[in-house]
Amino acid sequence: MVTHDSGAGATHHHQPPSGFIWKYIFSKDHKVIGIQYILLALVSVFLGMALSLLMRIHLAWPALKLPFFTNGGISPEQYLALLTMHGSIMVFMVLTTAPQSGFGNYFLPIQIGAEDMAFPTLNMLSFWTTFLSLCVLTAAFFVREGAPIGGWTAYAPLSGIPSAGPGQGPGMTLWILGIAIFCAASLMGALNFITTTIDLRAKGMSLLRMPLTVWAWFITSILALLAFGVLLAACLLLLLDRSVGTSFFIPGGLYVSDRIVEHKGGSPLLWQHLFWFFGHPEVYIAILPGMGVTSHLLATFARKAVFGYRAMVYALCGIGFLGFCVWGHHMFVSGMSPYSAFAFSLLTMSIGVPSAIKTFNWLGTLWNAKIQFTTAMLFALGFVSLFVSGGLSGLFLAQPSVDLYFHDGYFVVAHFHIIMGVAAIFGMFGALFFWFPKMFGRFLSEGLGKVHFWFTFIGVYAIFMPMHWLGMLGINRRYSAFEAYSPAVQAQIMPIQKFISVAAAVTITAQLIFLFNFVWSLWRGKKSTELNPWHATTLEWSIPSPPPFDNFAGVEPVIYRPPYEFSLPDMTEDYLPQFVAPERVARGSGK
C-alpha cells in the first residue's frame, strides 16, 4: 500500500494567534482568508440571484404588483438598476472572488508546499478591501435616486454625466468607487499569488510538477494584474469627468436633460476600449480556475492521469495570452474599421484552438476510465458540458456580420451566462464538494448534493437555451417590457419568457438545498476520518483535515513526481501521491 510519510525533514512550527479577532476576523492565515472570501461570495450570490428573480418575474408578468417598489410595480429605470447591480455583484463579487481569491487562497499555498502566502498582511488587506468594495457597491441601493442604470459595463458618456438619468448621480458615483476599490484589492491579491507561486514552491515542485489548479490560479493572477490596473485607471478617469469637469469620455455638444453638457473633446469609445481590455480577460479570470479544478477532479475521479498534461498547461497559457487580444469583438457595433473587425474576429476564433485542446483532453481523460460519479465529479462533467455549449454559441458572436444582429439581443445574454457565469459556478460547486472535508473535517451530503446538481444542471439549460431563440427573434435584452413589439411577436415571446422565469424560480429555489447542505454539514456532516478520503495525489492530502495553522506543522514537504499519477501498472494501489518518497512506495502486480 501507499504510505503517506514523505520522509521530509522538520523545520519549525508556528503557533496560531490567540484571540477571536486576530484568529478569525483580521486573520493573516491564508486558509481563514480563503473561507472569508467564499462566505462573502456566498452572500453575494444569493443577493445577485434575488435581483435576477425580480427581473424574471417582471419580464414574465409585467403587471404583477410587487412590494417595496413605487406603485407596486417595477419601472423601466428600476429594472435597469436591478440589471446593473445583478451583473456587477455576480461578476465582481462572485465569479472573480470565489474561484480565485476563495479556493485559490486556501489551496494554492498548500498544493505547492508553502506555509502561507508570500505577503500575509497584504492578503488580509486584500480581503477587507474587497469587503469594503461590496459595502460601497451595495450602498448605491440606499442613496437618493437609487442604484445606477447604466449596466455592469457603465458605458460613457451617460455614466459620466450625473444628470443623465435616475441613479446616475450618487448611485453611479458609488458604483464607480466600489469597482475602483475592488480593482485595488484584486491587484494586491494578484501580486501575492504570483509571488507565492514563483518563490515559495517546495523542494522538487518544478513548474511542470504543479497541479493544474495551481497553473490556473497562477495564470489568472497574471491576467488580473494586467486587467484590473486598466479598469482602475478607467474608473479614476470617469470619476474625474464626473466631479472635476475633465473630458476623457464625454464629447462636446451633448444635449442631456434639456441642457448642453459643458464638456468637449472626450471619446466615449475610449471607455469601451479600456473597459473591454479588462472585460474580456475577466471572462477568463472567472473561468480559468474552473478549468483547473475540472481537470483536477476528472483525473481524480476517473482514476487516470490527465491526458496531455503539458498540452493542458500550454492551452491555459494560450487562452490567457489570447484573452488580451480580442477585446474588440465586444465593439463590432461601434463603427470600427472592417479591417480591425476582421483581425479581432480572427483572433477570437483562434481562442477556440486552446479551448478545443482542453476539451478533447478532458474527453481523453475520461476515455476507458473507471469513473466514480461523486457529486464533485458530476459538477466537473457539468462544467465540461456548459463550457462546450457556451463556447459553440460564441463562434457566432465572433463573426462581425452575425454579431451586428445578435449584439443587443438575448443571444448574448445566453452565451455569456453559460460560458462565464454558470460554468464557473459549476467549477466552484465541484471544488467545494471535493475540498469541503479538507477545509472543515466533514463531508457534504452526497445525496443532497446530487439532488442539487440535477435541479441546477437541468435548470440552467432550461433558462438559457430558450434565450438563444429569443435572440434569433431579435428581442432586445435591455427592455423591461415588450409593448413595443407587435401582438404577433408578443404572442411568440411571452410564453418563452414565462417558461424561463419559472425555470429560474425553480433553479434559484434549488440553491436552498445547497445552502442547507452547506450549513448542516458544517456541524452534522459525516466526519472525515481518513487522511486522503478521495485517494488523490496532490500535497493537500498529506496533512490533517482541517490543516494546522502553518499547514505542514513544521515539516518541509518534498515533491518526488508529477501530479495525477493514477492507475500505474506496477502499483498495489491505483494512485501514487506526489509527496511519497520512492523508497516508501509499495509495488506489486497492480490492479
Q: What is the pLDDT of residue 1?
A: 40
> Phi, psi (5° rounding) for residue 255?
-115, 105
Band the pLDDT of 253: cuts 50, 70, 90: confident
C-alpha cell at 403: 454579431
Residues linked to residue 256 through DSSP beta bridges, in sequence order: 259
Residue 466 clears pLDDT 60, i.e. is over it = yes
For residue 119, give Cα distances in angstroms to 10, 14, 122: 23, 16, 5
The residues, any chain, with a CB within 8 Å of residue 206's CB and separated by 6 or more, are none
Band the pLDDT of 258: cuts 50, 70, 90: confident
DSSP code for 587: B
d(CA 519, CA 564): 31
| pTM of the full structure | 0.94
CA atoms within 13 A on the CB side of 419: 21
**What are 318-342's pLDDT values in tens digits?**
999 999 999 999 999 999 999 999 9
For residue 11, give Cα distances in angstroms to 107, 201, 204, 550, 555: 21, 15, 17, 11, 6
The share of the chain scoring above pLDDT 90, in percent, equals 84
The residues, any chain, with a CB within 8 Å of residue 380's CB and separated by 6 or more, are 293, 294, 297, 298, 301, 426, 427, 430
Which helix (H) or strand (E) segment is 261 a member of?
none
The residues, any chain, with a CB within 8 Å of residue 539's CB and separated by 6 or more, are 110, 111, 112, 113, 202, 557, 559, 577, 578, 579
C-alpha cell at 369: 476510465
DSSP code for 566: B
Q: What is the pLDDT of residue 589?
A: 53
Q: What is the pLDDT of residue 61?
A: 93
d(CA 240, CA 237): 5
Residue 433's nearest CA partner among 391, 369, 372, 368 is 372
Taking a C-beta distance cutoff of 8 angstroms, is the pair 320, 284 a contact? yes
Residue 346 clears pLDDT 70, i.e. is over it = yes
Q: What is the pLDDT of residue 590?
A: 45
Taking a C-beta distance cutoff of 8 angstroms, is the pair 281, 335 a contact? no
Q: What is the pLDDT of residue 7?
A: 47
Topology classification of domain 32-252+259-266: Cytochrome C Oxidase; Chain A (1.20.210)
Phi-psi group of 583: left, alpha or beta (phi > 0 → left; psi -120 to 50 → alpha; rest → beta): alpha
Residue with cell 463550457: 387
Characterize the bridge pairing of strands 259-260 and 255-256. Answer: antiparallel
C-alpha cell at 523: 456541524
The share of the chain scoring above pLDDT 70, in percent, equals 97
Taking a C-beta distance cutoff of 8 angstroms, is the pair 304, 566 a contact? yes
d(CA 39, CA 20): 18
Q: What is the pLDDT of residue 588?
A: 66
SS3 assignment, position 160: helix
Domain residue limits, the chain: 32-252+259-266, 529-591
**What are 161-198's pLDDT values in tens digits?**
998 889 999 999 999 999 999 999 999 999 999 999 99
Taking a C-beta distance cutoff of 8 angstroms, is the pair 408, 478 a contact? yes
Between helix 423-440 and helix 487-524 the angle, nearest 10°, is 10
Taking a C-beta distance cutoff of 8 angstroms, is the pair 280, 299 a contact? no
SS3 assignment, position 558: strand
Verify cis geometry, omega within 30 degrees of 0, for the bond prior to 569: no
**What are 122-168's pLDDT values in tens digits?**
999 999 999 999 999 999 999 988 999 999 999 999 999 998 889 99
Residue 67 clears pLDDT 90, i.e. is over it = no
**What are 378-409's pLDDT values in tens digits?**
999 999 999 999 999 999 999 999 999 999 99
For residue 244, give Cα distances in angstroms to 184, 240, 241, 420: 22, 5, 6, 36
- Nearest-5° angle of CA 521, CA 526, CA 527? 105
What does pLDDT average to over the chain? 93
Between helix 423-440 and helix 105-112 the angle, nearest 10°, is 60
For residue 357, give Cα distances in angstroms to 287, 312, 350, 352, 365: 16, 7, 12, 8, 12
C-alpha cell at 408: 443587443
C-alpha cell at 268: 466615449
